[in-house]
Structure 1
Amino acid sequence: MHELPKGYTYAVAAAGFKKKDRLDLGLIVSGPPAVCAGVFTTNLFQAAPVRVCRNALASSATVRAIVVNSGQANACTGEQGVRDCETVRGMVGDLAGVPARDVLPASTGVIGPRLKLELWRAALPALQESLGQAGPEDVAQAMMTTDTRHKVASRVVELSGGRVRLLGMAKGAGMIGPNMATMLSFLVCDAQVDAAWWSGVLSREADRSFNRVIVDGDTSTNDTSLALANGASGVNADSAADREILAQAVRDVLHALAYELVRDAEGGTKVARICVTGAASDADAELVARAVGTSPLVKTALFGQDANWGRVVCAAGRSGAVFPPEKLTLRFGDVLVFAQGRPESGDLDALLEPVMKASDIPIAIDLGAGTGSFEVLASDLTREYVSINADYRS
C-alpha cells in the first residue's frame, strides 16, 4: 500500500475516446496551489497539450490540477488543437472549482485526430462523481494505451520538520527512446519547496532516469513529465540536508518508474542494463550505450536468448565513440565473453545460458580509453512489438 501525499484528490472516467467502458480520462487536483515543474518532448512536432503546458508554466510556477486522457494525442492538430485544449481546461476547471489557467492538460494516443469534445462533455458528470473516490492507481490506469500494467511508485521520507510523501505514476510501453522525460509521468509531493530548486531537481533526475530508457528509439510528440509539490504536509524542504533527502526520494521514484517502463515495453520480455565504462568521456560512453540499446540486431538476440556478443561489439564500433578496439572488454552478467580483440575460450553458450534466460540481463562494456561512463535500460525486440505497432490504429 502506498502512503499518499496529503492534499490531493483523484478522479477517473470512461469517456470512450478509443474503446468503450475503459478508463481513459483521469484528473489530479491539489487542494492548495502546488509548485509545478515540467520537462517535455524535444520533438519539433509538439502536441497541443505540450504547448499549452509550456506556456502555462512560463507564466506561473503553481497549478491546481492535471487532466490526462488516453486514446487521443491531440498532436499535429494545429491551432485548433490548442483551442480544444483551452476548452478542456475550462470544463475541468469548472468541475474542480479551480481557474482554467491552473489546469494542465496531457494526452496520449494516435497522432492527428482532434479531441472529441462531445465525449469530454458527456464524461464530465462521471468524472465529477469520481472526484475524491478514486485513487492514483486509477489515474495511472486511465493513462494506459498499449501498457499491460499501470505504473506507480512512492516514497516516504523524514525531513527535519516532519514526514513528507511522494508518489509518481507513469505510462509508456512504446515510442520510447526520449531525450526529455518519457511518454507521460506525474509526481505529486506534499512538501513545501522552492520553485526554482524543484524545477532543477525534476530536470536533473528525469535526465538520469527517463532519458536513459530505450524501447524503440522514438521520441513522442506528447512526452510530458510534471512534478507537483503542494506543501500540504506543512514541512518545508529549505535546508541543504532536507533538500538532498527529498531529491534522493525523487530520484528513487523516477528510477523505479523508468525501470517499469522498460519492463512493460510493447511485447518485451527482457530488460538489458547496458553499462559502459572506460570511455574517453561520458559523451562517448553514451554513444556506445545508446548504439547497443537501440540496435535491432542486439535487441532481437536478447529476445532469442542468444548471447550474440558480435552484435554488441559491432554496435559499439559503429557508435561514433573513439576507443582502442583491442582494449574493449565485454561481459554478459559475470561472464567475460570478449577481450583483447577476440572472444574468450570455453563453451560460452553453456556459460551464458542462465544469464540469457533471466528477465534482467546485465551487459557491461569497458572501452579502455578513460574514465567516462553511461548506463541505459533497454528492452528486447519481439514479434509482438511488430504486431502491436502494425495494428496500432485499428
Structure 2
Amino acid sequence: MLSIPKGFKFSCVNSGLRYKNRHDLTLILSDTPAVGAGVFTKNKFQAAPVTVCKETLKNSTCVRGALINAGQANACTGEEGIADCRKTLELVAKGLNIKPSELLPASTGVIGPRFDMDKWELAAPRLVESIGEANPVQAAKAIMTTDKFPKLAWQSVESGTGTAKVLGLSKGAGMICPDMATLLGFIICDAEVDPVWWQEALKRCIDKSFNCITVDGDTSTNDTILAFANGASDFKADSDATRQALEAALLDVCQSLSYMIIQDAEGGTKVMSISVSGALSDNDANLMARAVGNSPLVKTALFGEDPNWGRIVAAAGRSGAEFNPENLTLRFGKITVFEKGKPVEGDMDALLEPIMRKQDIEVIITLGDGDGKASLLASDFSKEYITINADYRS
C-alpha cells in the first residue's frame, strides 16, 4: 500500500502550456520547512530551473517544496527564461504566503520555447487552491512526457524513536544516460536529517541508481533529482545506525525508480543488466559497461532477441578501457559464450533462445585484471523509438 510521508501535500492542474486535457503542472509542498537537497545535469546547457535550483540551494537548504511543469523545458531560453522561471515561483509563492526562494522549480519537455506567462498567471491560483486534493499517483502522471506509466516507489525505516517514510516519484523514458537524462525525480521523507549529510546521502544513492542507467546515450539540459526531509515523524537520523538505515531506504527507492525508467524506455522491450568485474579500475569497468549499454548494434540485437555476442565483445574492445582481451569472459545469465579470446563451442543460439525471450537479460563480463567493477541498466532499441523521437514536436 502506498505510504506517504507525514506533512506533505500535492496539487495538480492543467495549465495548457503544451498538453491538452491532462494535468501538466504539479506542486509538492511540505506543511513545514524541510531540508532540501539536489543533484543536477552536468550538461553545459543548463535549463533555467536548474540554474535557479542550484542558486537557491547554495544560499539555503531550508525549503518548502517543488514546482514542476511538463511539456516545456525552459532550456536555452537565456536570461528571459530565468526571469520567467523566477516569475512562476513568485506567482505560486504569493498564493501560499511563502517566499519564492522556498520553492524549487523543475521543468521537462521541448527545449527552446519560452513559457506563455499568461497561462501561468491563470494556472497558479488554481494550483494553490487545490493543494492537498491530489495524490502521489496523480502527481507522477502530471510530470510525464513520453512515459507510458507513472513511476513511484516507497520505503519505510524504523528506529527506537519512530518510523520514517520515504516516497519517490520520477519521470523519464528517453534522453537517458546520466551523469545526471530527460530525467526528473522527487523524493520526500519525514525524517529529521542533517542538511550536509542529506545532500551527501542523496548523491551517493544517485551514483548507485540514476547514474547507472542508459536508454540512448543522451543527457538532457534539465536533469534534476530533488529530495526533501521535513522532520514530521519521530525518526531522527542522528546516529550511524539511523543514518545507514535511512540511506538504505533512500537507495532502494532510487534504484526502484531507475529500473522503472529503463522498463519504460521509449520504444523499449528489454531491460539489459550489464555487470563488469575484474577491471583494472572502476573507471575502466564503467567505460566498458557504458560502451555496451549505449551501442546501437547491441541494442538492436537485443530487440531482435539475437544473442549476437560479437557486438558486445566489439563494444568492450572499443570502450577505451585498459584490459587484456585474453582474460575477458562473457556470459548471458549463467551461460558462458566467450572466454580466453574465443567463443565457447556448442549451439549457443539454441541455448540462449529462452533467455533472449525474457524482458530482463543479464550480460556479465569478467576481466580478471583487477578489482574494478561497475553495473548498468540499459534498454534495447526498437522501431518505436525512432517513431517517438521523429514525431516528438508534432
- TM tier, shorter chain? over 0.9
Q: Which residue of 2 aligns with 1:164?
A: 164
| Contact 1:159/1:237, CA 8 A, preserved across alignment | no
Q: Which residue of 1 aligns with 2:147?
A: 147
2-side partners of 1:267 and 1:228: how far apart? 32
2-side partners of 1:173 and 1:18: how far apart? 18
1:111 shift after superposition: 0.3
Q: Which residue of 1 aligns with 2:58?
A: 58
Q: Which residue of 2 aligns with 1:116?
A: 116
What does 1:1-394 align with in structure 2 at a 5 Å threshold? 1-180=1-180, 183-394=183-394
1:89-136 deviation digits (Å, cap 9, x = unpaired): 011112223211101110000000001111112223432342111111
1:182 shift after superposition: 6.5
Give the CA RMSD over aligned residues.
1.0
* SS of the residue 1:301 aligns to: helix
The 4+ residue runs of structure 1 with deviation greater than 2 A are none
| Contact 1:71/1:109, CA 8 A, preserved across alignment | yes
The two structures have a TM-score, normalised by structure 2, of: 0.98
The two structures have a TM-score, normalised by structure 1, of: 0.98
| Contact 2:92/2:125, CA 8 A, preserved across alignment | no
1:33-55 deviation digits (Å, cap 9, x = unpaired): 00001000000000000000000
2-side partners of 1:95 and 1:255: how far apart? 35
| Contact 1:28/1:67, CA 8 A, preserved across alignment | yes
| Contact 1:41/1:221, CA 8 A, preserved across alignment | yes
1:181 shift after superposition: 7.4
1:138-180 deviation digits (Å, cap 9, x = unpaired): 1111100000001000001102211110000000000000112
1:66 shift after superposition: 0.5
2-side partners of 1:54 and 1:160: how far apart? 35
Opposite residue 158 of structure 2, the aligned amino acid is: E
1:232 shift after superposition: 0.6
1:371 shift after superposition: 1.5
| Contact 1:188/1:228, CA 8 A, preserved across alignment | yes
1-side partners of 2:114 and 2:181: how far apart? 24
Opposite residue 145 of structure 1, the aligned amino acid is: T
| Contact 1:181/1:210, CA 8 A, preserved across alignment | no
Opposite residue 370 of structure 2, the aligned amino acid is: G
| Contact 1:295/1:315, CA 8 A, preserved across alignment | yes
* SS of the residue 2:110 aligns to: coil
